[in-house]
Structure 1
Amino acid sequence: MLSGEGFGGHVHRCLQGTIMFIGMAFLLLMTYSHLGGITISHQSLTDMAHLVPGNLP
Structure 2
Amino acid sequence: MPRQEPRGCCVISGRALHEDLGALCAEVFVQEGAKVLAADISGGQIETAAPLGPSVRAR
TM-score if structure 1 supplies the norm length? 0.27
TM-score normalised per structure 2: 0.26
Higher relative contact order at CA 8 Å, sep ≥6: structure 1 or structure 2?
Answer: 2
Hey, which of these two has a bigger chunk of strand by percent?
2
